Amino acid sequence: MDTYCQFAQPRIFRSFLERVHVENCFISEQCVRGVPDRDTPLKHIQNLYLEQAVWVHQSLLLGFTGRHIYLENTKLRTYDMKDFVEQWVEGQICVNLETAIISTELVYRYGEVLQEVPSFYGQGRAHEGRYVYNAAFRDFFQKEFDFLDCADCHEITRMTDGVIASVKILSETKSGVTRHYFFMFVWHDDNPAPGAFQNNEPGYRFL
């Protein structure tokens, strides 16, 4: 979605999604300015990709019910990610989540994000060392660094069912601008297989 306007209001997303049923994936490069809608339909999209997410509030992340979420250029801070991790570990939020990738130009303090949750680091994991990324928008998210390598991740466990997630924070500097990326990969399967794109047709990958 891109209205080709410099800025749009958050209500444009609600108006659009109330008229159009998004079955699988929603991708937006739109810049938004205004008060976020805490009850936005964006929360319930299975694959959500927002390239200009500076307007996004923590409530979108905490209330997300889909499988894959990617938020670029956010203003989310360390305490926002700390709340997210703690509530996921307690089984309160995002039970269907497979991946969350959140970027910001603010600095994530890694130690504080994991401060209140049990985590372990190192070898002896039951799952594969490399995550299989099956987001419907995966062709849109390409990085020069290997973000799917989980060998250097911390592992956290959801208390309600024992599901494990790999968490890490990486930084990337381009044109003098440093972005920090929070990655969370949930291991619903210890040996996940690559999934096909919807309809197996390149022209329909993001519908």
| SS3 label, residue 99 | strand
Output the pLDDT for position 191. 72
- Output the average pLDDT for the chain: 83
Residue with tokens 């339909």: 41
Q: What is the band of 107 on the pLDDT scale with cuts at 50, 70, 90?
A: confident
Q: What is the band of 6 on the pLDDT scale with cuts at 50, 70, 90?
A: low
Both tokens of 186, joined, read: 């949930």
Q: What is the band of 126 on the pLDDT scale with cuts at 50, 70, 90?
A: low
pLDDT digits (tens, 9 = 90+) for 65-78: 999 999 999 999 99
Task: Report the number of secondary-structure helices (H) and strands (E) in the chain.
Answer: 4, 8
H-state helical runs in the chain: 10-19, 58-62, 78-89, 110-113
Contact yes or no for 131/150 (Cβ under 8 A): yes
Q: Quote the pTM value.
A: 0.87
Residue 81 has pLDDT above 90, yes or no: yes
Residue 41 has pLDDT above 70, yes or no: yes
Output the pLDDT for position 87. 97
Q: Burial of 119 by CB count in 10 Å (0-12 exposed, 13-18 middle, 19+ buried)?
A: middle
